[in-house]
Amino acid sequence: MDSMPFFHADRVFTIVFLEDLSFSEVRTILDELLAEDAFSPHVLEHRGFYQIKLDGVSFSVWVSQTEVIIQRVVS
Protein backbone atom coordinates (compact mmCIF):
# COMPACT_ATOMS: atom_id res chain seq x y z
CA MET A 1 0.00 0.00 0.00
CA ASP A 2 1.42 3.37 -1.04
CA SER A 3 0.37 6.88 -0.15
CA MET A 4 1.05 10.33 -1.53
CA PRO A 5 -0.08 13.88 -0.89
CA PHE A 6 -2.36 15.20 -3.64
CA PHE A 7 -3.32 18.85 -4.10
CA HIS A 8 -6.77 19.32 -5.63
CA ALA A 9 -9.49 21.99 -5.39
CA ASP A 10 -7.28 24.14 -3.13
CA ARG A 11 -6.96 21.31 -0.59
CA VAL A 12 -4.32 18.72 0.22
CA PHE A 13 -5.44 15.10 0.49
CA THR A 14 -3.49 11.97 1.34
CA ILE A 15 -4.26 9.33 -1.26
CA VAL A 16 -3.66 5.72 -0.23
CA PHE A 17 -3.72 3.15 -3.02
CA LEU A 18 -2.85 -0.47 -3.73
CA GLU A 19 -2.36 -0.20 -7.48
CA ASP A 20 -1.34 2.65 -9.75
CA LEU A 21 -4.03 5.20 -10.48
CA SER A 22 -4.01 7.91 -13.12
CA PHE A 23 -4.14 11.54 -12.03
CA SER A 24 -7.38 11.82 -13.96
CA GLU A 25 -8.94 8.98 -11.94
CA VAL A 26 -7.85 10.53 -8.64
CA ARG A 27 -9.13 14.00 -9.61
CA THR A 28 -12.49 12.61 -10.74
CA ILE A 29 -12.89 10.53 -7.57
CA LEU A 30 -12.06 13.57 -5.41
CA ASP A 31 -14.53 15.71 -7.39
CA GLU A 32 -17.27 13.15 -6.73
CA LEU A 33 -16.41 13.02 -3.03
CA LEU A 34 -16.40 16.81 -2.79
CA ALA A 35 -19.78 16.94 -4.56
CA GLU A 36 -21.16 14.58 -1.89
CA ASP A 37 -19.56 16.70 0.87
CA ALA A 38 -17.70 13.56 1.97
CA PHE A 39 -15.10 15.50 3.95
CA SER A 40 -17.45 17.43 6.22
CA PRO A 41 -17.47 16.25 9.85
CA HIS A 42 -21.24 15.64 9.77
CA VAL A 43 -21.02 13.35 6.75
CA LEU A 44 -17.91 11.60 8.08
CA GLU A 45 -19.86 10.68 11.23
CA HIS A 46 -22.41 8.68 9.24
CA ARG A 47 -20.62 7.63 6.10
CA GLY A 48 -17.06 6.83 5.13
CA PHE A 49 -17.39 4.34 2.28
CA TYR A 50 -18.26 5.04 -1.36
CA GLN A 51 -18.58 2.99 -4.55
CA ILE A 52 -17.59 5.15 -7.50
CA LYS A 53 -17.79 4.14 -11.17
CA LEU A 54 -15.57 5.80 -13.77
CA ASP A 55 -15.65 4.79 -17.40
CA GLY A 56 -16.92 1.30 -16.56
CA VAL A 57 -14.40 0.75 -13.75
CA SER A 58 -15.56 0.50 -10.13
CA PHE A 59 -13.61 1.85 -7.19
CA SER A 60 -14.13 1.25 -3.49
CA VAL A 61 -13.26 4.47 -1.67
CA TRP A 62 -12.93 5.09 2.06
CA VAL A 63 -12.69 8.60 3.52
CA SER A 64 -11.23 9.58 6.88
CA GLN A 65 -10.60 13.30 7.42
CA THR A 66 -8.44 14.22 4.39
CA GLU A 67 -7.19 10.67 3.85
CA VAL A 68 -8.71 8.85 0.90
CA ILE A 69 -8.14 5.12 0.36
CA ILE A 70 -8.86 3.99 -3.19
CA GLN A 71 -9.07 0.40 -4.38
CA ARG A 72 -9.95 -0.65 -7.90
CA VAL A 73 -12.64 -3.37 -7.87
CA VAL A 74 -11.75 -6.29 -10.05
CA SER A 75 -14.76 -8.15 -11.39
pLDDT of residue 38: 95
Is the pLDDT reported for residue 20 higher than 80?
yes
Is the pLDDT reported for residue 15 higher than 90?
yes
Could you tell me the residue ranges of all domains in the chain?
2-73
Strand order in the sheet with 67-73: 2-8, 11-17, 67-73, 57-64, 49-54
The model's pTM: 0.91
DSSP bridge partners of 15: 4, 68
- Considering just the CA atoms, what is the radius of gyration of the chain in Å? 11
Angle at 24 between CA 19 and CA 25, to 5 degrees: 45
pLDDT of residue 59: 96
- Tell me: the pLDDT tens digits for 62-73? 999 999 999 999
- 67 three-class SS: strand
- Tell me: the pLDDT tens digits for 23-56? 999 999 999 999 999 999 998 888 889 999 998 9
